[in-house]
Chains A and B, each alone.
Chain A
Amino acid sequence: MPIRINLFHEEERALKERKRDPLKLGLLATLGLILCQIIYWLFLSGTAAGKNSEVARLQADWEKLRDSTEAGQSKLDEMKSKLDVYEMLHTKVVRRHFWAPILQQLLEGARLDVQLTEVNCSLSLEGNIRLTVHGLTAGQEPRGVAEYLRDATERALKTIHPESAARFELLEENPQLMEINGRRFRNARFIIDCRIAKPDKKEANSEHAQKKSQAR
């Protein structure tokens, strides 16, 4: 193997040293990183442009809708108060008390040996119903006839309002006999007091309040 002598090794070494200069290498790496950042910036610019155009589109949509939304809010408030009034009226109509069925039940309970002389019906502001029936009964057992009427009235009223009660305010037998169709009968005078606590008054109010809060 021949012996080779490199006479320029010092120069080559100096050249290599220059090439491996850390400052130069560092600057090159920095430039590379800055280039990466520029690429990232381009990507971000594209994203930002997309988002900005979406903002512009949404803004245009909102501009179109804004006036109708503001007007809609005031219209909605107005309609809600109107609807509350209507609901209140509707509840009043639906929950009002009907007297005709009570009169019918009373008539059905009154047999031929009963004479009703006075009927008073009243409805209090709280929704309580009171019915007072005055009358005369005749027969072998006039008290029994009156009791039959009271019981029939109570049962009939319970079908309309479950919390109904009918009681005698007065039941007294007349010492004098009564003449009917030429025959003389024992007779009794009675006053039946019926009280009907209307249970749905509070419910109606709470239902109305519930509807009001739901609408809000």
Chain B
Amino acid sequence: MDQEKIKRIFLALLLALAGLYITYLVLIEPKRSEINRALQQIEELQGNLRKGRGMRQAVETFEKQLSERETLINEFFANQQKGSPLAWVPPQIESFFARQGLKAVVKADGEPKMLDATMPNLLAYGWSVDLVAVDFIKLGTAIAAFENSYPLAQINSLRITPSSQSPSLQTCNLKFTGIIRN
């Protein structure tokens, strides 16, 4: 093989490499990066869509759960009236015990307390109920009815002592906390 031929082979190889590299750079590489970019975008968008659909589903589930709970909670607050609790709670409780055949005197007991810092509209009010000259069985029945009718009331203390009016009757002082929504 003469010198001239070797030179030509070398030149041919050089030209082939240059040609292939240039066509790769001009044609193939931009398309490949375009496809990769598109794939990345597809992945990102699919993630967003999944998140969006999941969010919609979560909102629907929560709405259903919330409405169920809301109905229940509204039932708890069914006894609540508008206005200052001092104006409507004592008459309501007194008339409740009157329906049970007992005479009650209801007074506020202490200052209202916030139930939780995150719930400024829910306040716990303390009340004191005096029941004079009551029969023990009637009293027990009335307390049971009270506990069943006022789910947001918790009796904190109960003091039953003999009545001065009759040895078979009792006097009762009942203190309870009631949650009221402003």
Contacts and interface: CB of A to CB of B under 8 A. Distances in A.
Interface of A: 21-23, 25-27, 29-31, 33-34, 37-38, 40-41, 44-45, 47-48, 51-52, 54-55, 58-59, 61-62, 65-66, 68-69, 72-73, 75-76, 79-90, 92-93, 96-101, 103-104, 107, 116-123
Contact of B27 (A25, A37, A80): A37
Interface stretch (B66-74, B79-87, B99-107): B66-74
B49 A34 contact: no
B55 A69 contact: yes
B114 interface: no
Interface string B82-98: 00000000000000000
Contacts of A27: 12, 15-16
Interface residues of B, number: 67
Contacts of A92: 152, 154, 179
Contact of B69 (A29, A33, A86): A86
A61 B162 CA distance: 77
Interface of B: 5, 8-9, 11-13, 15-16, 19-20, 23-24, 27-28, 31-32, 34-35, 38-39, 41-42, 45-46, 48-49, 51-53, 55-56, 58-59, 62-63, 65-66, 69-70, 72-73, 76, 115-116, 118-119, 122, 136-137, 139-141, 143-144, 147, 151-152, 154-162, 179
Contacts of A79: 59, 62-63, 66
Contact of A58 (B9, B42, B55): B42
